[in-house]
A and B are shown apart, each in its own frame.
Chain A
């Protein structure tokens, strides 16, 4: 069953009189529990693709269904609700809330989006922090931990609401190679363990060795689809 289904989607930005096609007539399907990457140079359309999958934006042309929902039909508040219920995000710059501790950052979506009781929240957060190896750092503020640790905390935060899809836009771009590899391995492991679909973008071909499917974009056009056999 497809979690994401694109049928001839294009995304066109208007800059004055000039039209820029960020994505051009893309059709693809992504299934449950897959570990998927989008690669390509800067400006190839990777981030635009993830923004569409993340229900942060709408396609200009074509149909995009995320978890059987046509996202073009959702309004601002419905899109926020949809993201909170079904999606998790990992950002290039981590985007953790600096005034909160690691524990509170991971807990944040459960408080603000899902409103879970405190006992359930605590169990969930501690279990995820344990899974990403950050349990001993839980009481530290964000500026007190390293870049790799921040991204591990961000992964835990993305998974707290049990999302069906986790979207990660260049999650390793701000990490050294060792940390990047550790983060990728962690995402892969969690993808298999919790059955969540991970979709991430990168321009670094070295870190995509372990993905199930790699899509290559160039100038907004899908030029290659590679499936890795396990």
Chain B
């Protein structure tokens, strides 16, 4: 086998330019796949982190049917104190959960005494909320973070609303009984909008919302959960589904509904599209490797027909002739992979030290920090090597089946 490998290697060296060109094409394909995967992965991770860490959390719990009517923010579908206590007990028993926070979601009318506008708000407990969504404070475009009696306005409202930080403002809202109540707030800051169902909401303190909505006891529209490890989302979702699913209302129906960030954020579809594009790039790579290696090996068999005839005439078993060509294709694939991997890692390193940024949306500046996992490297190299071997099979079998007498006749 050592000698077959030696001959195969030298056969590649015999057609230096063609072999290097093929290796170059394979390497370019590997570079394209890894660089795209690393960059797109960086973008995807950034966006997921921004969405989950600045607004959604990793998992959310609502009263059954709440998410379906989220546009109306129905206060009568809030979780009641008994249900919250039951849920708290379960959440506290799950070690994977780092923290959770309660929110009241409400719609209302804002007035600065000169003009008014409608807006939606999330009422939060700031200390708890920042544990669940640590990037929330980073969304503060100007001003200071929330305290009782203060309001954080969504940036979209401030554009056409002639109010500034420190001004007083009135928020009028309808409570669950249908009565209307108003409350004064001081504008503490302006929040940047993000992609997602509550990404354009303003913020008030949880206690203020309870007062405004005249809630006599604890009611919660939404519970946001942060996990210690993001990769445990599915696992914790399953635990919660099972444990909270056991709690039924008097009619025997589910009380809670549980959602992961994926089912709440429209970005999940974009993330899936990014994964799909990475898959297409891999399919293109497979095509490049398959066509270039098959082409070069078909040419090799055609050019070396007489040589194959003579080694076959000498009694070389067909299997050894086959292996010789398989090794040639294998070497093209492995050399292309290795060079492509090295160039990719260098390119990724250069992008990282260059601190390249990409504008996304209106204000988001994404710092490109591409990284490629060992599994991605391994998978790409494995695909290239397997496809190289597949590509060489047809020419290799053709070579091993050549009748020596016919092969020797060829000029």
Q: Which A residues have a C-beta under 8 Å from some C-beta of B?
A: 51, 54, 56-57, 76-77, 80-85, 87-89, 91, 93, 95, 97-100, 108-109, 111-113, 157, 161
Contact A57 B318 (CB under 8 A): no
Contact A57 B315 (CB under 8 A): no
Complex Cα gap A112–B6 (Å): 12
CB neighbours of B3 from chain A (8 A): 111-112
Out of B315, B403, B405, B408, name the residue touching A84 (CB < 8 Å).
Answer: B315
Out of A57, A76, A109, name the residue touching B314 (CB < 8 Å).
Answer: A109
| A108/B314 contact (C-beta < 8 A), A56-B404, A57-B405 known | yes
In chain A, what residue has the closest Cβ to B12?
A99
Contact A83 B13 (CB under 8 A): no
Q: Mark B391-402, 1 if CB is under 8 A from A, else 0.
A: 000000000010
Shortest Cβ gap from A3 to chain B (Å): 17
CB neighbours of B111 from chain A (8 A): none
Contact A84 B311 (CB under 8 A): no
Complex Cα gap A153–B4 (Å): 21
A95-B309, A100-B7, A109-B315 given; 17 more Cβ-contact pairs under 8 Å:
A54-B313, A57-B405, A77-B318, A80-B312, A80-B315, A81-B315, A81-B317, A83-B313, A83-B314, A83-B315, A89-B314, A91-B310, A108-B311, A109-B314, A109-B316, A112-B320, A113-B315
| A97/B311 contact (C-beta < 8 A), A76-B318, A80-B316, A80-B318 known | yes
Contact A85 B14 (CB under 8 A): no
In chain B, what residue has the closest Cβ to A99?
B10
**Which has the most chain A C-beta neighbours within 10 Å: B13, B306, B313, B317?**
B313
CB neighbours of A113 from chain B (8 A): 314-317
Complex Cα gap A111–B3 (Å): 7
Whether B307 is near chain A, meaning CB under 8 Å from some CB there, is: yes
Can you show 27 pairs from A to B with CB atoms below 8 A apart? A51-B405, A54-B313, A56-B403, A77-B318, A80-B315, A80-B317, A80-B318, A83-B315, A84-B315, A84-B316, A84-B317, A88-B314, A91-B408, A93-B306, A95-B309, A95-B408, A98-B307, A99-B11, A99-B13, A100-B7, A108-B311, A109-B314, A111-B3, A112-B314, A112-B317, A112-B320, A113-B317
**Which has the most chain A C-beta neighbours within 10 Å: B10, B314, B404?**
B314
Complex Cα gap A93–B316 (Å): 19
| A82/B11 contact (C-beta < 8 A), A89-B310, A91-B310, A91-B408 known | no
Complex Cα gap A54–B314 (Å): 9
Shortest Cβ gap from A164 to chain B (Å): 13
Tally of contact residues, B, Cβ under 8 A:
25
CB neighbours of A54 from chain B (8 A): 313
Contact B316 A112 (CB under 8 A): yes
In chain A, what residue has the closest Cβ to B310?
A95
Shortest Cβ gap from B13 to chain A (Å): 7
CB neighbours of A77 from chain B (8 A): 317-318
Shortest Cβ gap from A166 to chain B (Å): 11
Complex Cα gap A51–B404 (Å): 10
CB neighbours of A56 from chain B (8 A): 313, 403-405, 408
Complex Cα gap A111–B315 (Å): 11
CB neighbours of A109 from chain B (8 A): 314-316
In chain B, what residue has the closest Cβ to A111?
B3
Q: Mark B275-315, 1 if CB is under 8 A from A, else 0.
A: 00000000000000000000000000000001101111111
Complex Cα gap A121–B190 (Å): 85
CB neighbours of A157 from chain B (8 A): 314
CB neighbours of B309 from chain A (8 A): 95
Shortest Cβ gap from B319 to chain A (Å): 9
Contact A95 B307 (CB under 8 A): yes
Complex Cα gap A229–B286 (Å): 69
Shortest Cβ gap from B87 to chain A (Å): 73
Closest 6 CB pairs of A and B: A84-B315, A95-B310, A99-B10, A83-B315, A111-B3, A56-B405
CB neighbours of B306 from chain A (8 A): 93, 95
